Structure 1
Amino acid sequence: MMTDKVLDVRGLSCPLPVLRAKKTLDTLPPGTILTVIATDPGTRRDFESLCRQTGHTLLKASEDGELFTFILQRAG
């Protein structure tokens, strides 16, 4: 999947990963694809909630050991 921007929030704990992702999404044009790389296991729940509340789309969420990757599309 093609990504327009990557946000690396490894090492940050809740709520910082989702807050940084929201701030980044707010600066991007509608339809932009953002990939977020995180290490906090609570981020999956946080990103699902963010998308429900903001209208952004969670295109993919994956886990590889202690690494979590989220692909979001900005609403618009």
Structure 2
Amino acid sequence: MEQPAATETIDLRGLKCPLPVLRTRRHLRDLAAGSLLRIETTDPLSVIDIPHLCREDGHRLVSSAPLEGGHSFLIEKAWE
């Protein structure tokens, strides 16, 4: 099954906790409801922190997949 195209992709590789979550939250704030944001991280805690951010803020985690040396997340911004 093909993944939907992201509205925006941000590279958060190399950043350590809590920066990936803080920058993801900031980017989501600026997107329209229903927009898709893909993020790429290398922080091992992101696999816990990003899903928690989505649950906490009401966003939908569309997919989560390992990348070479990190992880990729596709997030749909919550409908307001």
TM-score tier, shorter chain, comes to over 0.9
Q: Which of residues 35, 46, 52 is equivalent to 1:49?
A: 52
Secondary structure of 1:14 counterpart:
coil
For structure 2, which runs of at least 5 residues remain unmatched after alignment?
none
Instruction: Please give the alpha-carbon distance, in whole angstroms, between the structure 2 residues aligned to 1:37 and 1:51.
Output: 15
Q: 1:36 deviation in Å?
A: 0.2
Moved more, 62-71 or 14-23: 62-71
Q: Deviations over 1:15-39 (max 9, x none)?
A: 0001000000001000000000110
**Aligned equivalent of 1:62:** 65
Please give the TM-score of this superposition, normalised by the length of structure 1. Answer: 0.95
Count of matched residue positions in the alignment of Structure 1 and Structure 2: 76
Instruction: Please give the alpha-carbon distance, in whole angstroms, between the structure 1 residues aligned to 2:64 and 2:44.
Output: 12
Q: Work out the percentage of aligned pairs sharing the same amino acid.
A: 36
Instruction: Please give the alpha-carbon distance, in whole angstroms, between the structure 1 residues aligned to 2:70 and 2:57.
Output: 24
Q: Which runs of 4+ in 1 moved over 3 A?
A: none
For structure 1, which runs of at least 5 residues remain unmatched after alignment?
none
Q: 1:53 deviation in Å?
A: 0.5
